[in-house]
Structure 1
């Protein structure tokens, strides 16, 4: 009797078919030779495919470099040469990242906050309150601009023609002050020059820290969130025109400096010629009115045109940084500490060599990092809220929206069914904040210098002569290296959810197209959107934590009397509006297809992360 086959007949047939040998009766030598030939053919095909892919990449890179040369030529012709690395002699003495002797505790902060030390960039004393600027006057501003090289030596500021202070106290109800942001007070200053302005601005926008009161966010901004003000001062000293300009518009720097020991600073940049608030029609060549944070409902078409222009500008910013990194590491050395820079370089090297962008191999590696490597698991734990902290902030939100301020929300957003859905789904996500942050942060292609708060209001808009809406970026406090999806996700949470429900995919597509034009690299739109929504998953709990400030501004009994986000007590108080409307928009988003939870589920299914 014949011995039984080593493999069942159907399995043996499959094995032969897989090698392309069906129908052939081969002896052992023939089989070995055929396998070698097939392996060689497979290798040659793989090499050819790799060569074709490399050729496409090189062609795209060449096209991107050619476009960069065109942009540079156009910028020079317009008198705005593109930024170039800082010269060696200046770089050797350029202020570096660090704590600069900053205070770390409340008593240390109170002891130095009124000291008048010189700034670290330009070495002269500077005003950090409106009254100090009035007292120091045009003579000081002339000295400051001469020192910074932004005013010719034969010219001088002779007079302040107008001096308008904004946002001195953002904890109070004030419709005008509520338009001007919350990270510092602002001064709209107009000046006269001895020899005329030439190409200089006569309208200056000045930012200073708020006076510390104990009720505002000065301590948080200056100490708890240290780095926000220093990074903005640094940004303008690096990219505000001294060494060239960015490929998109950003305000020109006239004098910016800070003393980290005292936490005081002053930023003096060009003033944007916004249209009057309430303007609903903008003609070619004109600027839009300044958008107000969390008031998209007051913009033409809910700000839709602005979001498309904004997405294009962000793509240009990120693409510029990717190309700049090919020539210098100065940007990383300026905005990142050595330890973080080394850690990211190592992670990106490992992940980059494991597989291509958006590949299964990378996903598997990152899951292994998060489940098998104690060191990286510890690093991930420091990247986001712990499950306990996230759940605690979520509980605060549930209590506020479902009880304390229930009457201030639309009924459908805080119905029993809606709140239970939000509680369950957001509670599920709360367990994975650190893992989601690590996942995005481990993907090399997402790495970039990022605007810290890229919402539509931290930008300015105008129409060119063809009628296209264009965008420039401003308000750079907290600029640092992060992830592209994180920047987009945080930036778009201020939009009306119904707008994003219809346009989010289109905005992502526009962003991807614009980024590819400059860099030659193309993101997968679906992958980028999923990661952008993961970033929103993570930022949700920080928004919930902000409810603590809402309860400091108004007591619980007062909240029970409020009647919606347009209630003047909410809408005309900057911090109240921001932190309340955030929650309103989250609850609305949770009822739509663009809910972050839907993309969290997609991510969990894709990477098969172990359930908690």
Structure 2
């Protein structure tokens, strides 16, 4: 059976194109109907022509297009320069993995059109999803990096090239707190619970640590061998002084107590809010307001959900520089606590939030980051020939660079924040009925 070039959206009931080629063929008529459905375009206005159409590559979700259009009438607020994102093409081996991530992003994009939305996001012109084929499309305003006061785009895992990233992370922290507080204050009404339901008793099987105890031990052994083969890729504080052996001894504790850790994160009601999960610098844009204060808008809302804000904080900082986090983590957490309360969220304790961040780093890091050595070797090959973290061969390979940075930050956080000790304290305090073993993957 031939793959379709259009599917009918579950929300709009409009047939929408599933690929770059299908969008070009659908043309101005489809865009007119789509933009009218969301309310981005008045019913008596229309898209008259596509004036620019350029596919570009970046990120892992799917194919993307820089789109320019003309309207019959240039109403105030209409953007002519747009961004289009698709799920991966039919037949792509990664489609099954990445396709479902776009469904919550579509829900969020449509939610963001409401008046008074608390954070800056690209204006949504159309978004829809077809669950039966895991197919999505997102059309938004295009952020013009490097123009009209907007900073040039900051790439992932290159924070060391920024002169002073403190302002950027403060802006991101405030944006995260504003969205979470807006939700906790009830300003979304029932929309958030309907669009992003949360059940504290449910632990998503898909997010579980995907290893048996034996598989975890193999991952840890691979990590030790990788550091021994390429010590130049790791700061001295990680490769010397016995830390790695300590980490290898402590890491299995996370697998053993995974369910209890995830339950603790889920059950901390004051900390559960609507959050952007992957708020690295590359998923934002920055500008200065009239007072000269740096502000942040947020992009790429794949996997947006209600979650513990500590998990979102780790998602925001997981690609930062380890030395930066050592110096500024506590201040950023304190800033979140203050902004969260100021925006209408509950008063939360700074030390409690810091402990929840430790738990988040532990369980998410073990679940997602221990494959980094194998992925880096696959991308680079002769890792001994790489001179260091900033070697051009590593810097210019996005996947290898990102995996190494995430691994270094994860290990540094484990050491610097004494996560092993925090886990032991957690186990000591946790009720016995929550110390269920999670040793076998779902």
Measured against the shorter chain, the TM-score band is 0.7 to 0.9
Structure 1 pair 113–412 and aligned structure 2 pair: CA distance change class (3 A): farther
Structure 1 pair 574–128 and aligned structure 2 pair: CA distance change class (3 A): farther
Structure 1 pair 264–431 and aligned structure 2 pair: CA distance change class (3 A): same
CA distance in 1, matches of 2:397, 2:373: 15
Per-residue deviation at 1:415? Answer: 4.3
Q: Which residue of 1 aligns with 2:136?
A: 265
Per-residue deviation at 1:202? Answer: 1.5
Alignment counterpart, residue 152 of structure 2, candidates 274, 285, 289: 289
Paired residues for 1:411-422 under 5 Å: 413-415=238-240, 417-422=242-247
Per-residue deviation at 1:218? Answer: 2.5
Secondary structure at the counterpart of residue 508 of structure 1: helix
Alignment counterpart, residue 96 of structure 2, candidates 181, 205, 219: 219
Tell me if 1:579 matches 2:440: no
Alignment counterpart, residue 298 of structure 1, candidates 145, 154, 161: 161
| Deviations 1:520-576, CA, capped at 9 Å, x for gaps | 631111111111111011111123344387168437x44444343334443333333
Paired residues for 1:153-552 under 5 Å: 153-167=43-57, 180-211=58-89, 217-222=94-99, 226=100, 228-237=101-110, 239-241=111-113, 243-275=114-146, 286-301=149-164, 303-324=165-186, 328-336=189-197, 341=199, 344=200, 384-385=208-209, 388=213, 391-392=216-217, 394-395=219-220, 397-399=222-224, 401-403=226-228, 405-406=230-231, 408-410=233-235, 413-415=238-240, 417-519=242-344, 521-547=346-372, 550=375
Unaligned 5+ runs, structure 1: 1-110, 168-179, 277-284, 348-375
User: Which structure's CA Rg is the greater one?
Assistant: 1
Q: Which residue of 2 aligns with 1:599?
A: 422
Per-residue deviation at 1:286? Answer: 2.0
CA distance in 2, matches of 1:572, 1:309: 27
CA RMSD in angstroms, aligned pairs only: 3.1
Unaligned 5+ runs, structure 2: 438-442
Q: Is the 8 A contact 2:184 2:346 kept in 1?
A: no
What TM-score do the two structures reach when normalised by structure 1? Answer: 0.64
Q: How many residues in Structure 1 have an aligned counterpart in Structure 2?
A: 434
Secondary structure at the counterpart of residue 206 of structure 1: strand
Alignment counterpart, residue 8 of structure 2, candidates 115, 118, 137: 118
Structure 1 pair 123–142 and aligned structure 2 pair: CA distance change class (3 A): same
Per-residue deviation at 1:474? Answer: 2.2
Secondary structure at the counterpart of residue 519 of structure 1: coil
Structure 1 pair 460–597 and aligned structure 2 pair: CA distance change class (3 A): farther
CA distance in 2, matches of 1:559, 1:535: 30
Structure 1 pair 462–478 and aligned structure 2 pair: CA distance change class (3 A): same
| Deviations 1:305-324, CA, capped at 9 Å, x for gaps | 11101111111111111112
Structure 1 pair 270–595 and aligned structure 2 pair: CA distance change class (3 A): farther
CA distance in 2, matches of 1:148, 1:328: 20
Q: Is the 8 A contact 1:209 1:264 kept in 2?
A: yes
What TM-score do the two structures reach when normalised by structure 2? Answer: 0.87
Q: Which has the higher strand share?
A: 2
